[in-house]
Amino acid sequence: MITGNRFGREIEFREGEPIQLLQYIEDNSGEEFGKIVTNPEALKILQTIREPLAIISVVGSYRRGKSWFANVLHGRHDGFDLGAKVEGCTRGIYMWSPPFLLESKQSDGKVIKKRVIVLDSEGIDDPKQDQNWATKLFILCLALSSTFIYNINGIVGRDDIGKLYLMTDLSKFIQEPEEGDFLPRLVVLLRDFTLESPESFKDYFLEKLNNVNPEGELINKEFVDNVID
């Protein structure tokens, strides 16, 4: 079945439903306050996976359509809760169950099978959100993902650039593995952008990152060249 969503043409309709992967205990009246708790049912699903795993996370400010785009990746209009209120509706991190199987043909003709998990995260910058949790949430999604989709609506603001810079700053504290990448591939999803596009979005983001931290120009350039799509 192929989705009727014009933004998701040729994306196969995926059966299933979202399940919470982890949550942050916000109730400060109990001993559990501030803890990050995983869902045992979600962990059971993950333990059954035998194929190579690709994890796609959709991250960004609250009420900006992250859940809608996560649904598009499954060829659906429904699934992850969209909500109709001003307040954010996603809490913690949700994953799609079951993770779907994706087959891709390589240049040598070999077919590679991967199991794909899409994560829909709680929106960042919610006024009701604990700031420590907002930072932890961003880092968690960064650490879990093989592809990190940062969702932006309209113009790119200082807060957006600040969060992208956080990725470059974190790279200094992560020990690079002997094999493979230690940072996910970053996809900046710039939606509803009605202004004239810059000639190169990579150069555009590099300039913005350098404005945040001029001393990190070399790190910023390496980050933009190797990470941003």
Domain ranges of the chain: 14-153, 160-229
Return the closest-CA partner of residue 66 out of 21, 123, 20: 123
- Where helices occur in the chain by DSSP H, the ranges are 40-47, 66-72, 131-144, 158-170, 201-212, 217-227
Residue (of 88, 94, 29) closest to 55 by Cα position: 94
38: β partners: 22
Q: Is 131 helix (H, G, I), strand (E, B) or coil?
A: helix
Checking DSSP bridges between strand 93-97 and strand 100-105, what pairing results, if any? unpaired
With 0-12 / 13-18 / 19 or more C-beta atoms within 10 angstroms meaning exposed / middle / buried, residue 160 is buried
In this prediction, residue 84 carries a pLDDT of 40
The half-sphere exposure of 57 on its side-chain side, counting CA atoms within 13 A, is 25
The pLDDT of residue 62 is 76
**Nearest residue to 172 (alpha-carbon basis) of 215, 125, 130:** 215
3-state secondary structure of 139: helix
Task: State the first-to-last Cα distance of the chain, in angstroms, to the nearest integer.
Answer: 29
Rg (CA), the chain: 18
Cα torsion at 20, 145, 127, 206 (round to 10°)? -170
Q: 């169950």: which residue's tokens? A: 97
Q: How confident is the prediction along the chain (229 residues), in pLDDT tens digits per residue? A: 444 455 556 778 888 999 999 988 876 666 677 788 999 999 999 999 999 999 999 988 776 778 888 888 888 878 887 654 334 456 789 999 999 998 888 888 888 899 999 999 888 777 677 777 888 888 888 888 899 898 887 666 677 777 777 766 665 565 555 655 566 788 888 766 665 666 777 777 677 666 766 655 555 555 555 545 4
The single residue listed with the structure tokens 């604990």 is 130
Report whether 166 contacts 75 (CB < 8 A): no
CATH topology of domain 14-153: Rossmann fold (3.40.50)
125, 126, 61: which is closest to 87 by C-alpha? 126
Rounded Cα gap, residues 78 and 39, in angstroms: 22
Tell me the β-bridge partners of 120: 58, 94
